[in-house]
Structure 1
Amino acid sequence: MKNSTLTAAFVAGSMAFGATAQADILDVHMNIPKDLTFLADSAKLMDETLRNMSGGDSGFQLYGAGELVPAGEILENVSSGAIPAGWSFLGQWGGQVPVAQIGATPFGAGPEALAAWLHVGGGLEIVQRGFDPLNIKIMACHVTNPEPGGWFNKEINSVEDFNGLKMRMSGVGARVLNEFGASAQYLPAGEIYLALERGRIDATEFSLPIIDKDLGFNQIAKYYYYPGWHQPGSADILMINMDVWNGMSETEQAMYEAACQVSLQWTLAYAPSAQIPQIEEFEAGGTIVKTFPDEVLAELRVVTERVLNAEAEKDPLYGEAYRSMKDFVASSGRWTALQTLPAE
């Protein structure tokens, strides 16, 4: 079992909080507003944990999307050393680093399985190899629970309803929808509401209900569809310029690993119970919550498999990651099935 991360967390947890730090306070540039519910909170928690461990010597100075660096330019700036670190959705960088697409796999790993594969199943080591040429160290410190299928202003009764639909969606899911005639593309969080309001897009997905509320989608879209076939689990990462990372002491690196685990476990624990009250609030305000028809999900699954297999053939490292994750999920899934109790 690959447990270097957990070992580092144990070592750091046993150290005195007054340990000397080398890198001091790290400037971290985010791809989202720094006050965004849940998605930004995990970065703030990691900052707090680092400061507590180090007696205030280590931590983050967080910058929201666009404060100093546009959200879409974080990767290249961390790579060049223009900025020391960034915090973003892993899948955002799939165009530049194909293996990053594994950060959200349609019909793929759920949050617990994704976190386990990344940290004890060898997943993070595979993904890291895609970032090594860019001189970037990555840490998977946040996993988001399954997201809703999206906000729409028309009902989705068959896959034909995706034809001509302009939708904000990122990653592999966007390519799957485009196979059905949609025009799906990535938009940063801060641009989605205005695009939906002005008709540049007809529909959107973004994140969990508690986060979608902050962005106001319920004010301009009528239907809220489930399940989130495109993103059953997704990873956000801390990216650190490798020269900065290598300049840290072993003590500080261990503290970073441990603080990352604290944030990761918080994201897994916090998200599930917070969503239903928010969905009920949406419904009270007039939102219509619906589920995609089984036939639609079945056709989406078929096309997803074709798109993922094509990507695996095109990029060997992505293919290695995809096969590794599928094998890990199948193995852990059997264990879960064996231990599942019958419903009352």
Structure 2
Amino acid sequence: MHHTSLIRVVALTATTAALLVATQAQAQQTYEWKLVTSWPKNFPGVGQGPERLAQLVEEMSDGRLTIEVFGAGQLVPGFEVFDAVSEGTAQIGHSASYYWKGKAPAAQFFAAVPFGMNAQEMNAWLHYGGGLELWNELYDEFGVEVMAAGASGVQMGGWYNREINSVDDLQGLKMRMPGLGGEVMSQMGVAIVNMPGGEIFTSLQSGAIDATEWIGPYNDLAFGLHQAAEYYYYPGWHEPTVMFEAMVNDEAWNELPADLQAILRSAIRDVNQDVLDEYTARNNDALATLINEHDVQLRKLPDDVLAEAKRISADVVQELADSSELAGRIYESYSDFQQKVTNYHAISEQAYYNARNPDGEVSFDNANAE
């Protein structure tokens, strides 16, 4: 072999080796992240989502990316999760976007819209209807990347310490209800109070509030809300689902190699479905326990309350849509998608439910479902 050819081969080999070492170094580099949530640590359902996320990411990345999960108040208060991620105090957060309505009012569209889309429909809009792109556009100025990370399904209408027989019975009630639903209720004469989940029970028990909504039977039983109020109302018109969110700090996200980004994205998508599956599996049994073991009075919200809530909801949502150019585009995308999916679901899901259970029968031993 010619001398210069030999030098060239050696040089090439050295370059290849150097590249290989660099690639291996990147592959071996580890990342330790902090995850902050708005939920009590290890709380059933929504609080388990972040724990599952951390576990999945560690397994899938073979320990290259580890995530330490902090419950509300452990590192930052539950309502400061967004700021913590935006500022880089934590690399990732798990919460619900309507808590940030003070910073980005249009964020409420991505959590829960009264009489809006349910979990199945929201997932379709977010992932195949342009919703997620709009959500990220909204969070861009805060340096946050966002993904859907769980859903509650249709929530309950709330716990009341007195019976509600008409709209008049709502006047002057003090109630914990976040987001657009809270805005609607305040226009119906309710004094709305906001607080993180961990403070609800004591507030209800002490009489600081007269009513609250939290999530649904599985979580409400875990919080012991039946010990503080006896009337449990449905349906949760204000939250046809709550979509939970995983927020990632942009700089932290961009530092990850492509394979870890893909792992994180896939793990979050897994958690998104898993949280909803758990709620669907657990809610009915928890409701039966509340009714049969704790003598909770299950009640349907009166028709006039639902009709009035629906009327006011349309105005409240429209007002939010008019609040900015981006809010207008989000609303247009959301409402167009809802119209189409409602149309299709009328002859699919809804028609099937009606065929399967034409009388809407439920079988809780002592439930008064009238």
TM-score, normalised on structure 1? 0.91
* 1:106 matches 2:121: no
* 1:50 matches 2:50: no
Give the drift of 1:169: 0.5
Question: Please, what is the CA RMSD of the aligned residues?
Answer: 1.5
The separation in 2 between residues aligned to 1:242 and 1:299, in whole angstroms, is 42
Contact 2:30 2:63 in 1 (8 A): no
The separation in 2 between residues aligned to 1:259 and 1:252, in whole angstroms, is 10
Contact 1:144 1:233 in 2 (8 A): yes
Q: Which residue of 2 aligns with 1:306?
A: 315
Q: Which residue of 2 aligns with 1:204?
A: 212
Q: Which residue of 2 aligns with 1:68?
A: 75
Contact 1:167 1:183 in 2 (8 A): yes
Gaps of 5+ in 1: 1-18
- Letter of the 2:97 counterpart: L
Contact 1:313 1:319 in 2 (8 A): yes
- Letter of the 1:343 counterpart: A
The separation in 2 between residues aligned to 1:334 and 1:314, in whole angstroms, is 28
Give the drift of 1:97: 1.1
Larger radius of gyration: 2
The separation in 2 between residues aligned to 1:21 and 1:308, in whole angstroms, is 49
Q: Which residue of 2 aligns with 1:6?
A: none
Gaps of 5+ in 2: 1-25, 357-370
The separation in 2 between residues aligned to 1:225 and 1:54, in whole angstroms, is 44
Q: Deviations over 1:283-341 (max 9, x none)?
A: 12110000001121011000010111111111222222122112112212222233344
The separation in 2 between residues aligned to 1:252 and 1:28, in whole angstroms, is 16
Q: How many pairs were matched up?
A: 326
Structure with a larger share of its residues in helix = 2
- Letter of the 2:334 counterpart: M
Q: Deviations over 1:117-160 (max 9, x none)?
A: 11221111101111111111111111111110000011111111
What SS does the aligned partner of 2:175 have?
strand
The separation in 2 between residues aligned to 1:292 and 1:208, in whole angstroms, is 15
Q: Which residue of 2 aligns with 1:215?
A: 223
The separation in 2 between residues aligned to 1:324 and 1:99, in whole angstroms, is 13
The separation in 2 between residues aligned to 1:320 and 1:225, in whole angstroms, is 34
Contact 1:23 1:247 in 2 (8 A): no
**Identity rate of aligned residues, in percent?**
33
* 1:90 matches 2:97: yes
* 1:151 matches 2:159: yes
Q: Which residue of 2 aligns with 1:293?
A: 302
Question: Aligned to 1:225, which of 227, 233, 236?
Answer: 233
The worse-fitting range, judged by mean Cα deviation, of 306-315 and 225-234 is 306-315
* 1:335 matches 2:344: yes
The separation in 1 between residues aligned to 2:119 and 2:30, in whole angstroms, is 31
Superposed counterparts of 1:237-276, under 5 Å? 237-276=245-284
The worse-fitting range, judged by mean Cα deviation, of 23-32 and 192-201 is 23-32
Give the drift of 1:84: 2.0
Contact 1:27 1:61 in 2 (8 A): yes
Q: Which residue of 2 aligns with 1:137?
A: 145
Contact 2:33 2:90 in 1 (8 A): no
What SS does the aligned partner of 1:328 have?
helix
- CA 1:270 to 1:21, structure 2 compared with 1: closer, same or farther past 3 Å? farther
* 1:316 matches 2:325: yes
Contact 1:114 1:234 in 2 (8 A): no
Between the two structures, name the one with larger relative contact order (CA 8 Å, sep ≥ 6). Answer: 1
- Letter of the 2:285 counterpart: P
* 1:127 matches 2:135: yes
Q: Deviations over 1:151-206 (max 9, x none)?
A: 00111111111110100010011110110111112210111111111111110001
- Letter of the 2:302 counterpart: P
Give the drift of 1:31: 0.8
Q: Which residue of 2 aligns with 1:166?
A: 174
Give the drift of 1:23: 5.9
The separation in 2 between residues aligned to 1:190 and 1:124, in whole angstroms, is 29
Question: Aligned to 2:185, which of 177, 181, 186?
Answer: 177
What SS does the aligned partner of 2:27 have?
coil
The separation in 1 between residues aligned to 2:176 and 2:326, in whole angstroms, is 27
Which 4+ stretches in 1 moved above 6 angstroms?
Answer: none
- CA 1:48 to 1:21, structure 2 compared with 1: closer, same or farther past 3 Å? farther
